[in-house]
Amino acid sequence: MAKGGSATLFILVASVTGCLASTVTECTPRDYGRGSVVCVCNSTLCDFLGPVSPEQPGVVAVYESNKAGLRFHKSILSVTNSTGLPVSDTNTITLTINNSQTYQKIIGFGGAFTDAAGINIKSLPTRMQDDLLRSYYAPEGLSYNVGRIPMASTDFSTRLYNDPGDFNLTSFSLAQEDLSLKIPFIHKAVSLAKEEVYLFASPWSGPAWMKTNGALYGMGKLRGNPGGKYYKTWAKYFVRFLEEYGKHDIHLWCLTTENEPTNGEIPHFPFQCMAFTPETMRDFVKLDLGPALLANGYGNVKVMILDDERYDMIRWAQTIFQDANASSYISGIGVHWYGDFAGPQILDKTHETFPTKFILGTEACEGFQAFVKEKVSLGNWDRAETYAADIIQDHSHWVTGWVDWNLALNPEGGPNWAKNFLDSPIIVNGTSQEFYKQPMYYSLAHFTKFLRRGSLRIEADVDAHIDDKVAFVTFETPEKSKVAIVLNRDFIPYTLLIRDGTKSFQKSITERSIQTFVWL
Q: Which one is catalytic: 55, 140, 177, 260? A: 260
Q: What is the mean pLDDT of residues 424-434?
A: 99
- The whole-angstrom separation of Cα 347 and Cα 437 is 31
Q: Specify the higher pLDDT residue, 291 or 464.
A: 291
Q: What is the mean pLDDT of residues 42-51?
A: 96
Q: Which one is catalytic: 363, 385, 434, 476? A: 363
Report the pLDDT value the prediction gives residue 2, as an integer from 0 to 100.
39
Q: What is the mean pLDDT of residues 56-64?
A: 92
Distance from chain centroid for Cα 13: 18
The pLDDT of residue 351 is above 80 = yes
DSSP assigned state of 123 = T
**What confidence category does residue 481 fall into, taking pLDDT thresholds of 50, 70 and 90?**
confident
Sign of CA dihedral 477, 346, 324, 300: negative
Report the pLDDT value the prediction gives residue 90, as an integer from 0 to 100.
74
Report the pLDDT value the prediction gives residue 1, as an integer from 0 to 100.
36
**What confidence category does residue 18 fall into, taking pLDDT thresholds of 50, 70 and 90?**
very low
Annotated catalytic residue 258: no
Instruction: Report the range of poorest mean pLDDT among 24-28, 134-138, 298-302.
Output: 24-28
**What confidence category does residue 11 fall into, taking pLDDT thresholds of 50, 70 and 90?**
low
Angle at 240 between CA 234 and CA 242, to 5 degrees: 115
- Which residues are bridge partners to 151 per DSSP? 203
Angle at 54 between CA 48 and CA 60, to 5 degrees: 90
Report the pLDDT value the prediction gives residue 241, as an integer from 0 to 100.
99
**What confidence category does residue 20 fall into, taking pLDDT thresholds of 50, 70 and 90?**
very low
- pLDDT one-digit tens code per residue, 107-147: 999 999 999 999 999 999 999 999 999 999 999 999 999 99
- What DSSP element (H or E) covers 240? helix 229-247
- pLDDT one-digit tens code per residue, 356-391: 999 999 999 999 999 999 999 999 999 999 999 999
Report the pLDDT value the prediction gives residue 4, as an integer from 0 to 100.
39
- The whole-angstrom separation of Cα 281 and Cα 516 is 41
Q: What is the mean pLDDT of residues 13-17?
A: 50
Of 3.30.450.20, 3.90.1150.10, 3.40.50.2000, 3.20.20.80, the CATH number of 119-375+390-422 is 3.20.20.80
The pLDDT of residue 9 is above 80 = no
Sign of CA dihedral 450, 453, 459, 465: positive
Q: Percentage of the chain surpassing pLDDT 70? A: 93
Q: What is the mean pLDDT of residues 457-463?
A: 88
Distances (CA, A) of 124 to 118, 153, 192, 351: 10, 22, 18, 43
Instruction: Report the range of poorest mean pLDDT among 80-89, 241-250, 498-507.
Output: 80-89
**What confidence category does residue 152 fall into, taking pLDDT thresholds of 50, 70 and 90?**
very high
Annotated catalytic residue 363: yes
- pLDDT one-digit tens code per residue, 96-108: 999 899 999 999 9
- pLDDT one-digit tens code per residue, 188-239: 999 999 999 999 999 999 999 999 999 999 999 999 999 999 999 999 999 9
Report the pLDDT value the prediction gives residue 14, as an integer from 0 to 100.
54
- Which residues are bridge partners to 35 per DSSP? 380
Number of neighbouring beta carbons within 10 Å of residue 283: 20
- pLDDT one-digit tens code per residue, 244-294: 999 999 999 999 999 999 999 999 999 999 999 999 999 999 999 999 999
**What confidence category does residue 479 fall into, taking pLDDT thresholds of 50, 70 and 90?**
confident
Q: What are phi and psi of 178, to 5 degrees?
A: -60, -45
Q: What is the mean pLDDT of residues 18-46?
A: 85
Report the pLDDT value the prediction gives residue 280, as an integer from 0 to 100.
99
The pLDDT of residue 84 is above 90 = no
